[in-house]
Amino acid sequence: MTKVFFVRHAEPNYENHDDRIRELSPRGMEDRKKVTAFLADKNIDIVVSSPFKRAVDTVKDFADKNGMIVEIVEDFRERKVDSGWIEDFTSFSKKQWSDFSFKLSDGECLKEVQDRNISALNIVLEQYSGKNIVVGSHGTALSTIINYYDKSFGYDDFENIRFLMPWIVEFSFDELGNCTGIKRHSV
């Protein structure tokens, strides 16, 4: 059996609008210790992450304390919304969840985010079969992964976790790569 612990990043600094280098807030830096404590007894073999700083930094405390490196997987990155900051994020999110192909001119639709993240997950599952894996992730990216395996997960569920940071979702996979269970953990 393979277990994958997707870790939605801790609270970021919302003043920084650069998605790739947005760091954790002081609260986020403190809250990542909760992730480290949760993962302490999970026999983790490998830590991978989205390349975005807030995701890396959320799992890096655990990796550092356990003498591991954080392997960057570009395709685990968060959805690209557009070239600029979106003021009415709620309306935008509702449109995307009601139509997985909806996107702004310079952004990604949820179907693209889901396909990219599932493809990356399948590679990780093949490469680390039988291992316990941590993946530093994001709210939307992780939500599309949950939706892939559980179609009932939709906009209302996404809205319920929108401000839940950090958040851990544990996926279990059999030796063929089939998802056999999903558990949500608040930390």
Instruction: List the beta bridge partners of residue 24.
Output: 12
What does the DSSP assignment read for 131-177? SEEEEEE-HHHHHHHHHHH-TT--HHHHHHHTT--SEEEEEEE-TTS
Distance CA 165, CA 161 (A): 8
pLDDT value at 39 more than 90: yes
| pTM of the predicted model as reported, rounded to 2 decimal places | 0.94
Q: How far apart, in whole angstroms, are the C-alpha atoms of residue 104 and residue 83? A: 9
**Domain positions in the chain:** 12-28+37-45+58-134
* Residue tagged 């999903």 (tokens): 182
Task: Report the C-alpha dihedral over residues 170, 39, 80, 83, rounded to 10 degrees.
Answer: 160
What pLDDT digit, counting tens, does each position of 76-118 carry? 999 888 766 777 888 889 999 999 999 988 899 999 999 999 9
